[in-house]
Chains A and B, each alone.
Chain A
Amino acid sequence: MIVSWNWLREYVAVDVSADEIARRLAMAGLNHEGTEPVGDDLAIDLEVTSNRPDWLSHLGVARELAVLLDRPLRIPDPRPAHAGGDEARGGGGAASVRVDVACPELCPRYSARVIRGARIGPSPDWMVRRLATLGLKSVNNVVDITNYVLFECGQPLHAFDFAKLRGSRILVREPHPGEQIVAIDHKPYALEPGMCVIADAERAVAVGGIMGGYDTEVAPETRDLLIEAAEFAPLPIRAAVRKLKLRSPSSDRFERGIDAERLDWASRRCCELILDLAGGAMDALRADVSMPRPPRAPITLRFAQIGRILGIEVAPAEARRILGALGCAECAECGASRADAPERITTVPPSWRRDLTREIDLIEEVARIHGYERIPEDAAVPMTPSHRGDRDRLVTRTRHAVRAAGFDEAVTASVVPEEWASAFPPWSAAEPLRCETPLVKGADRLRRSLLPSLLAARSGNESGGNTRIDLFEIARVYLPRAGELPAEPLLLGMCGGRGFRDMKGVIEGLVESLHAPAPVAREFRDPLFRAGTGCELRLGDDRFAFVGEVSLATRRRFGLRRPAVAAELDMDVLQRHVVLVPRHQPVILFPAIQQDLNFILGESVRWAELDETVRRSAGAWLEEVAYRETYRDPQADGPDRKRILLSITVRSREGTLTGDQAAAIRDRIVAAVSERHAGRLLT
């Protein structure tokens, strides 16, 4: 809302600078966006919160200022002269125009005055300048006056060329099917049921509350005017603005709600200015159709509640003064007896403050005007312990572990293009959820894996000429569930360029550092992974992670020139298996014996199987099985054979192991490997 400094001062005497006024208004809730000089005036840009439509006018801002400065507010008292006798209010049909409202839920009040014989011409300089400060171009005297009064008091007005209204008739109704209108911006608009149009005897002549029609607009030759001052319901206006992609200063105000009780003031003010500046004569009767409105309910403020909420005491007299200054009318007879007076005040808020309906609203008003700077910032805040949840601990430790492995943390969008959403679906077979509105262009699916996003990030990095691209992200994915909110497991995604075993080593190292059991690997096929490299890791019976080299097809799809390895871990599964506070185990001081075992085995024997056999057969003294290397010597061992070198570490709790004891363990392992895998120890 842009306020003209010169205009504002017409309503309240100000003896401080515009900067100081802007500061005072900001501290009352009208955020100061900036001040620009326009001619000899200042355009002060104020941000109006959605609860205060009353501030969308000069009088509204002046009213606030009058309270802040404790000065009187000077409001004009328009009394437009009319032809013959006292002005009379007619019902829908009593005036020179017949007004009917067919949809009172869309238009609770419609009033019209008719002025005949006006002369359309330029506006006076003072009005042109004031509108210019607000950034408005002068059109002609009558249109300018409707705009002027709108920005003066916040009530939108519209002037029709009365001669062009067929049948001297106004019908406020919903549009007919397929009805169209050309608005004063010369563009056609397709009207739909649920909207509100102003029609004459034959056709729509305005989109109610949003914009007038081109056919009936005031033109240079216009002589007779119909001045509309109406109230339109906020929600339908908002919907229509969205649908038509058409908004105006009028719709901005109807969307938030206008002060219907001061609607007639605006109409009189507008007509008075027209009679002054454009001449003509006003009909004695006006049309005014309105829905009955329940009286405003009084609100009681218990003074003790002020301190309970604000933490400071405000004297009842001060609270009473503030509410009075804001226009709240104390009502002694409704609710509060005289005996209660020291404890409470019962008031009816002014018509322009629809936002005030509850005690807490009045407390806020008292606080706002009394001043938030009076609330102390050094109260003794009581201490209380805070708890850190296991999930938070786990995520933090994981993040720092992966970071220590050399991965940089990425943050990618949760909503992805459809093709990404289908790229890696192992966590859920259900179709990805779709957003009605895309997050960014082309991205409307809620992701089920972080990996496509990380692959895309990797691709962007390759394009940027970066070479070491090791990225991770810890974020949720969204998996549909029938009958309840979607599951949102927290995943760790990793994508790097350092090789499969490096990536798997990071996962295993992470799991080990968190004292979870070693994950068990099994093959896993998915188009994301190069055939034969995909691997599923389990913790107990839980599917915990996937890791593999990114397949050529996937690399092509994401524009990746260089090889990559990707892995994804379920943090919720990990959490079920970790020990965040481990129990101390005494360190065994007896020496360990390490032995290397070099087996010749068939190609088909997997390490995981061999490892399991070694562990099972070694007995209780086994401390560690370490893989060393695989190599092949077809000439010595024959085809389809490989050699796996591993080393075992054995140690006893009871004493130093003898060479014979170590040899016995070794013999058991060799026998088991021979039996289960037809492996032979190379000696």
Chain B
Amino acid sequence: MALSQFLDALNALESSAVRAFGAAADEPALESARVEFLGAKSGQLKSVQKGLGALASADKPLAGKRFHEVKAAIEGAFQSAKDRLASLADEEASTDDGGPLDPTLPGTPFTLGRLHPITQTIEELTEIMGRLGFSLADGPEIEDEWHNFEALNIPFDHPARDPLDNFYVAAATLGEKPLLLRSQTSTVQIRVMEAAKPPIRVISLGRVYRPDEVDATHYPMFHQVEGLWVDRRVTMADLKSTLRLFATSYLGRDVHIRFRPSFFPFTEPSVEVDFQWGDGWVEFGGAGMVDPAVLTAVGYDAEEVTGFAFGLGIERLCMRRHQITDIRELFRNDVRFLRQF
């Protein structure tokens, strides 16, 4: 057999095999094409291979090389035809009941519960204050008068101590001392300072209690966060700058801080803090320099150290953040409300 004849036969075989595999529309068609071209016994490739032996020795290397190329091409065409049919079958994946899947159906419900908006506000504040170096401090909600009043420079005749303005615990006494639900988280400041020496940089937060008629903006239980920093050379400029860093972090943009004079027994000077909101100023909370009487009460030397403290109502911050207009919503615990946050 002449070399050219052999090569022509190979080329013809290659193109007809590739065509046949490409045209196979299902498994049986592909199988019969496979038997026809690649069958081990009487496949066409096998037949052509037999012609190889009839060639002249000098032609054999070239013919052999070409034969293997064609063989690889035909096998490749078969494999891709097989993959093509497999993926067709895969795409027709069916559901459990045998019908086709509707990929637009909803997924299996995965319910992630929601954290209360007060908690979310607290987490945010704690996180920001943490970055500013304030560690979390904790204290009891039921307090004695020393920690809730006296050490905070609220003397016996101060109006804030009126029994009707506080939740005193009936007949419960610590020694001879009456107990009450704390009316501010500043109690924790006293406990922290009693237990440690300066420098102190803490925040305390949690529930506080003050008798009040319940309405859209008042609830007798609410949450406060308070910051305290005591060290040598802590000044009101540190207070203003810290609050500005805090407000800038919280609001996500550069804001300015304004102090207005105010009065709190445990700070002096005392100020109301506003931050800039659009064109106006928004009340942020109260702040001031720790009153020397407070420093003295916890055994610090007021000539040695100074400090600042600030406090704000979490409900108010939370309500403004989420445009909640009625504080009672926060404590009604309707899941339709809770799931909005």
B74-82, B84-92, B140-148 - the one binding chain A: B140-148
A172-180, A383-391, A516-524 - the one binding chain B: A383-391
CB distance from A402 to the nearest CB of B (A): 7
Give the contacts of B105-135 with A (CB-CB under 8 A): 111-116, 118-119, 123, 126, 129-135
Cα separation A273 to B284 with both chains bound (whole Å)? 46
Among A242, A385, A446, which residue has its beta carbon within 8 angstroms of that of B169?
A446
Give the contacts of A479-506 with B (CB-CB under 8 A): 480, 483-486, 488
Cα separation A402 to B111 with both chains bound (whole Å)? 11
Query: Residue A247 at the B interface, CB < 8 A?
Result: no
Give the contacts of B18-45 with A (CB-CB under 8 A): none
CB neighbours (8 Å) of A413 from chain B are 221, 331
Cα separation A483 to B177 with both chains bound (whole Å)? 11
Cα separation A360 to B199 with both chains bound (whole Å)? 21
Cα separation A49 to B336 with both chains bound (whole Å)? 41
Cα separation A457 to B143 with both chains bound (whole Å)? 28
CB distance from A411 to the nearest CB of B (A): 5
Give the contacts of B164-210 with A (CB-CB under 8 A): 164, 166-172, 174-175, 179, 181, 199, 201, 207, 209
Among A367, A384, A478, which residue has its beta carbon within 8 angstroms of that of B133?
A384
Among B114, B132, B242, B257, which residue has its beta carbon within 8 angstroms of that of A409?
B114
Contact B334 A435, beta carbon cutoff 8 Å = no
Query: Residue B236 at the A interface, CB < 8 A?
Result: yes
Cα separation A372 to B240 with both chains bound (whole Å)? 10
Q: A404-B113, A409-B115, A434-B170 are in contact. Are A379 and B241 (CB under 8 A)?
A: yes
CB neighbours (8 Å) of B143 from chain A are 485
Which residue, of A391, A392, A484, has the highest number of chain B Cβ atoms within 10 A? Answer: A392
Contact B140 A488, beta carbon cutoff 8 Å = yes
A26-34, A336-344, A671-679 - the one binding chain B: A26-34
CB neighbours (8 Å) of B111 from chain A are 406, 468
Query: Residue B100 at the A interface, CB < 8 A?
Result: no
B49-57, B58-66, B263-271 - the one binding chain A: B263-271
Give the contacts of B271-330 with A (CB-CB under 8 A): 271-272, 289, 291-292, 306, 330
Cα separation A380 to B199 with both chains bound (whole Å)? 17
CB neighbours (8 Å) of A377 from chain B are 237, 240-241, 243-244, 256-257
Chain A 49-72 near chain B by CB (<8 Å), digits 1 or 0? 111100000000000000000000
Contact B272 A31, beta carbon cutoff 8 Å = yes
Minimum CB distance partner of A406 in chain B: B111
CB neighbours (8 Å) of A435 from chain B are 167-170, 181
Query: Residue A255 at the B interface, CB < 8 A?
Result: yes
Cα separation A242 to B111 with both chains bound (whole Å)? 52
Among A386, A400, A480, which residue has its beta carbon within 8 angstroms of that of B135?
A386
Contact A414 B221, beta carbon cutoff 8 Å = yes
Cα separation A234 to B161 with both chains bound (whole Å)? 14
Query: Residue B262 at the A interface, CB < 8 A?
Result: yes
Cα separation A114 to B307 with both chains bound (whole Å)? 55
CB distance from B144 to the nearest CB of A (A): 7
Among A312, A364, A485, which residue has its beta carbon within 8 angstroms of that of B174?
A485
Contact B113 A381, beta carbon cutoff 8 Å = no
Query: Residue B68 at the A interface, CB < 8 A?
Result: no
Q: A439-B209, A478-B141 are in contact. Are A412 and B333 (CB under 8 A)?
A: yes
Contact A388 B144, beta carbon cutoff 8 Å = no
Cα separation A290 to B238 with both chains bound (whole Å)? 48
CB neighbours (8 Å) of B96 from chain A are none
Among A375, A478, A480, which residue has its beta carbon within 8 angstroms of that of B237?
A375
Query: Residue B235 at the A interface, CB < 8 A?
Result: yes
Minimum CB distance partner of B283 in chain A: A31
Query: Residue A433 at the B interface, CB < 8 A?
Result: yes
Chain A 185-222 near chain B by CB (<8 Å), digits 1 or 0? 00000000000000000000000000000000000000
Minimum CB distance partner of B332 in chain A: A460
Minimum CB distance partner of B257 in chain A: A377
Size range of the chain A interface in the assembly: 35 or more
Query: Residue B335 at the A interface, CB < 8 A?
Result: yes
Give the contacts of B218-239 with A (CB-CB under 8 A): 220-221, 233, 235-238
Query: Residue B136 at the A interface, CB < 8 A?
Result: yes
CB neighbours (8 Å) of B236 from chain A are 309-312, 367, 372, 375
Contact B113 A472, beta carbon cutoff 8 Å = yes
Query: Residue B98 at the A interface, CB < 8 A?
Result: no
CB neighbours (8 Å) of A464 from chain B are 334, 336
CB distance from A476 to the nearest CB of B (A): 6
Query: Residue A628 at the B interface, CB < 8 A?
Result: no
Query: Residue B9 at the A interface, CB < 8 A?
Result: no
CB neighbours (8 Å) of A234 from chain B are 157
Contact B263 A388, beta carbon cutoff 8 Å = no
Contact B260 A31, beta carbon cutoff 8 Å = yes
CB neighbours (8 Å) of A31 from chain B are 260, 262, 272
Minimum CB distance partner of B115 in chain A: A409
Among A405, A437, A461, which residue has its beta carbon within 8 angstroms of that of B164?
A437
Contact A412 B331, beta carbon cutoff 8 Å = yes
Query: Residue A469 at the B interface, CB < 8 A?
Result: yes
Contact A436 B118, beta carbon cutoff 8 Å = no
Contact B263 A384, beta carbon cutoff 8 Å = no
Minimum CB distance partner of A411 in chain B: B116
CB neighbours (8 Å) of B118 from chain A are 411
Contact B338 A410, beta carbon cutoff 8 Å = yes
Minimum CB distance partner of B248 in chain A: A377
CB distance from A350 to the nearest CB of B (A): 18
Contact A399 B334, beta carbon cutoff 8 Å = no
Among B168, B207, B333, which residue has its beta carbon within 8 angstroms of that of A471?
B333
Q: A384-B133, A405-B113 are in contact. Are A411 and B240 (CB under 8 A)?
A: no
Contact B333 A309, beta carbon cutoff 8 Å = no
CB distance from B297 to the nearest CB of A (A): 14
CB distance from B232 to the nearest CB of A (A): 10
Contact B138 A391, beta carbon cutoff 8 Å = yes
Cα separation A446 to B179 with both chains bound (whole Å)? 13
Query: Residue A470 at the B interface, CB < 8 A?
Result: yes
Cα separation A362 to B59 with both chains bound (whole Å)? 116
CB distance from A676 to the nearest CB of B (A): 41
Query: Residue A415 at the B interface, CB < 8 A?
Result: yes
Cα separation A354 to B256 with both chains bound (whole Å)? 34
CB neighbours (8 Å) of B142 from chain A are 433, 446, 478, 485-486, 488
Contact B135 A409, beta carbon cutoff 8 Å = no
Contact B172 A433, beta carbon cutoff 8 Å = yes
Cα separation A457 to B272 with both chains bound (whole Å)? 36
Query: Residue B163 at the A interface, CB < 8 A?
Result: yes
Minimum CB distance partner of B273 in chain A: A372
CB neighbours (8 Å) of A296 from chain B are none
Cα separation A483 to B119 with both chains bound (whole Å)? 33
Query: Residue A361 at the B interface, CB < 8 A?
Result: yes
Contact A410 B333, beta carbon cutoff 8 Å = yes
CB neighbours (8 Å) of B233 from chain A are 308
Query: Residue B258 at the A interface, CB < 8 A?
Result: yes
Among A364, A385, A408, A414, which residue has its beta carbon within 8 angstroms of that of B114?
A408
CB distance from B37 to the nearest CB of A (A): 44
Among B220, B238, B333, which residue has its beta carbon within 8 angstroms of that of A411?
B333
Cα separation A52 to B171 with both chains bound (whole Å)? 36
A-B contact pairs, 14 of them (CB 8 A): A49-B262, A49-B263, A311-B235, A377-B241, A379-B238, A381-B242, A383-B133, A388-B130, A389-B136, A409-B115, A411-B116, A411-B118, A437-B166, A480-B172
Residues of B within 8 A of A (CB): 111-116, 118-119, 123, 126, 129-136, 138, 140-144, 157, 159, 162-164, 166-172, 174-175, 179, 181, 199, 201, 207, 209, 211, 214, 220-221, 233, 235-238, 240-245, 256-263, 268-272, 289, 291-292, 306, 330-336, 338-339
Other than A409-B115, A468-B335, give 12 A-B pairs with Cβ distance below 8 A.
A234-B157, A242-B164, A312-B236, A379-B235, A391-B138, A403-B114, A410-B338, A411-B330, A437-B211, A468-B111, A470-B113, A486-B140
Residues of A within 8 A of B (CB): 26-29, 31, 49-52, 234-235, 238, 242, 255, 307-312, 358, 360-361, 363-364, 367-368, 372-373, 375-381, 383-389, 391-392, 396, 399-400, 402-415, 433-437, 439-440, 446, 457, 460-461, 464, 466, 468-472, 475-476, 478, 480, 483-486, 488
